[in-house]
Amino acid sequence: MLDIYLDTATGRLAAAGLATRIRSEMGRHVVTVKSVTVPVVGAVHRRLEVEGPALPTLVPDTWPVSDARILVQAAIGQEPLTVIARLRQQRRTLLVRRGDTVIELSLDDLEALGLPGDDTPLGTRTELEGELLAGDAADLARLGEALAVVPGLAPASGSKLEWARSFIGR
| pLDDT bucket at 154, cuts 50 / 70 / 90 | confident
| pLDDT bucket at 117, cuts 50 / 70 / 90 | confident
Q: Which pLDDT score is estimated for 37?
A: 66
Instruction: Express each pLDDT in 54-75 by its tens digit.
Output: 999 999 999 999 999 999 999 9
pTM: 0.88
Please report the domains of the chain, with CATH numbers, ordered by start residue. 2-165 (2.40.320.10)
Q: What mean pLDDT is predicted for residues 89-94?
A: 96
Q: What mean pLDDT is predicted for residues 38-52?
A: 75
CA dihedral 31, 33, 39, 43 (to 10 degrees): 10
Residue 95 and residue 167: Cα distance in Å, rounded? 32
| pLDDT bucket at 141, cuts 50 / 70 / 90 | confident
Residue 51 and residue 37: Cα distance in Å, rounded? 16
